[in-house]
Chain A
Amino acid sequence: MSKVYDYLDERLSISELKKFAGKKTVPLHKYSFWYYWGGISLLCFLIQLVTGILLIIYYKPGPDAYNSVRSLTYDVDFGWLIRSAHSWSATIFLVSVFVHMFSVYFMKAYRKPREFGWWSGMALLILGLLFGFSGYLLPMDQLSFVATKVGLAIPENIPLVGHTIANLMRGGLEVSEITVQRFFAWHAVVLPLLYLPLLMFHLFLVQKHGNAIPPSEEDVPMEKRKSIPFFPNFILKDLAMWLVTLNAIALVASLFPPDLGKVTDPLGPAPAGVHPEWYFMSSFETLKLIGKVIPGMLGEAAGITIFTLGLVLWCLVPFFDTSSPKGRNGRYATYFGIFCLGVLLVTTLLGYVAG
Chain B
Amino acid sequence: MASVGDESCQTYSGASERMSEEIMAVSPEDPGENEISRLNFIKVAVGGMCLAYAAAVGYPIYRYLNSPVQREAALSAVKDVTLAGADKLEKGAVLLFKFGPYPSMLIHHKDDSWVAFDAVCTHLGCTVQYHPEQDKIVCACHGGVYDSHTGANVSGPPPKPLTRFQIKVANGAVTVTRA
Interface residues of A in 30-81 (CB under 8 A from B): 54, 57, 75-79, 81
Inter-chain contact B7/A78, CB cutoff 8 Å? no
| Closest CB in chain A relative to B9 CB, distance in Å | 12
CA distance A77 to B64 in the complex (A): 5
Inter-chain contact B65/A81, CB cutoff 8 Å? no
Interface residues of B in 2-37 (CB under 8 A from A): 3, 6-7
Is B70's beta carbon under 8 Å from chain A? Answer: yes
Chain A residue, CB-CB nearest to B63: A77
Given contacts A77-B66, A77-B70, contact A82 B3 (CB under 8 A): no
Q: What B residues does A246 contact at CB under 8 A?
A: 53
| Closest CB in chain A relative to B75 CB, distance in Å | 14
Q: What A residues does B70 contact at CB under 8 A?
A: 77
Q: What B residues does A82 contact at CB under 8 A?
A: 60-61, 64
Q: What B residues does A57 contact at CB under 8 A?
A: 65
Is A353's beta carbon under 8 Å from chain B? Answer: no
Q: What B residues does A54 contact at CB under 8 A?
A: 61, 64-65
Is A161's beta carbon under 8 Å from chain B? Answer: no
Interface residues on B, range: 10 to 19
Inter-chain contact B3/A78, CB cutoff 8 Å? no
| Closest CB in chain A relative to B56 CB, distance in Å | 8
CA distance A79 to B60 in the complex (A): 9
CA distance A54 to B61 in the complex (A): 8
Chain A residue, CB-CB nearest to B61: A54
Chain B residue, CB-CB nearest to A4: B3
Interface residues of A in 77-97 (CB under 8 A from B): 77-79, 81-82
Interface residues of A in 204-250 (CB under 8 A from B): 246, 250
Inter-chain contact B67/A77, CB cutoff 8 Å? yes
Inter-chain contact A1/B7, CB cutoff 8 Å? yes
Q: What A residues does B7 contact at CB under 8 A?
A: 1
Q: What B residues does A75 contact at CB under 8 A?
A: 67
Given contacts A57-B65, A76-B67, contact A81 B60 (CB under 8 A): yes
Q: Mark B46-86, 1 if CB is under 8 A from A, else 0.
A: 00000001001000110111111010000000000000000
Interface centre among A76, A79, A82, A246 (most CB of B within 10 A): A76
Q: What A residues does B53 contact at CB under 8 A?
A: 246
Inter-chain contact B64/A76, CB cutoff 8 Å? yes
Given contacts A54-B61, A81-B60, contact A1 B67 (CB under 8 A): no
Q: What B residues does A250 contact at CB under 8 A?
A: 56
CA distance A78 to B64 in the complex (A): 5
Interface centre among B3, B64, B67 (most CB of A within 10 A): B64
Q: What A residues does B67 contact at CB under 8 A?
A: 75-79
Q: Mark B148-161, 1 if CB is under 8 A from A, else 0.
A: 00000000000000
Chain A residue, CB-CB nearest to B1: A239
Q: What A residues does B63 contact at CB under 8 A?
A: 77-78
Q: What B residues does A77 contact at CB under 8 A?
A: 60, 63-64, 66-67, 70
Interface residues of B in 89-127 (CB under 8 A from A): none
CA distance A82 to B3 in the complex (A): 29
CA distance A54 to B64 in the complex (A): 8
Inter-chain contact B3/A79, CB cutoff 8 Å? no
Inter-chain contact A1/B60, CB cutoff 8 Å? no
Q: What B residues does A81 contact at CB under 8 A?
A: 60, 64
Q: What A residues does B60 contact at CB under 8 A?
A: 77-78, 81-82
Chain A residue, CB-CB nearest to B10: A1
CA distance A78 to B53 in the complex (A): 17
Q: What B residues does A1 contact at CB under 8 A?
A: 3, 6-7
Q: What A residues does B66 contact at CB under 8 A?
A: 77
Interface residues of A in 245-262 (CB under 8 A from B): 246, 250
| Closest CB in chain B relative to A301 CB, distance in Å | 46
Q: What B residues does A78 contact at CB under 8 A?
A: 60-61, 63-64, 67
Chain A residue, CB-CB nearest to B66: A77
Q: Mark A261-286, 1 if CB is under 8 A from B, else 0.
A: 00000000000000000000000000
Chain B residue, CB-CB nearest to A55: B64
CA distance A1 to B3 in the complex (A): 8
CA distance A78 to B60 in the complex (A): 6
CA distance A348 to B129 in the complex (A): 66
| Closest CB in chain B relative to A4 CB, distance in Å | 9
19 additional contacts, CB 8 Å, given A1-B6, A76-B64, A250-B56? A1-B3, A54-B61, A54-B64, A54-B65, A57-B65, A75-B67, A76-B67, A77-B60, A77-B63, A77-B64, A77-B66, A77-B67, A78-B63, A79-B64, A81-B60, A81-B64, A82-B60, A82-B64, A246-B53
For the complex of A and B, list the 4 residue pairs with the smallest distance between their C-beta atoms, beginning with the closest: A78-B60, A77-B63, A77-B67, A76-B67
- Please list 12 pairs of residues, one from A and one from B, whose beta carbons are closer than 8 Å in the complex, sorted by A's number: A1-B3, A54-B61, A54-B65, A75-B67, A77-B63, A77-B70, A78-B64, A78-B67, A81-B64, A82-B61, A246-B53, A250-B56
B residues with CB within 8 A of A: 3, 6-7, 53, 56, 60-61, 63-68, 70
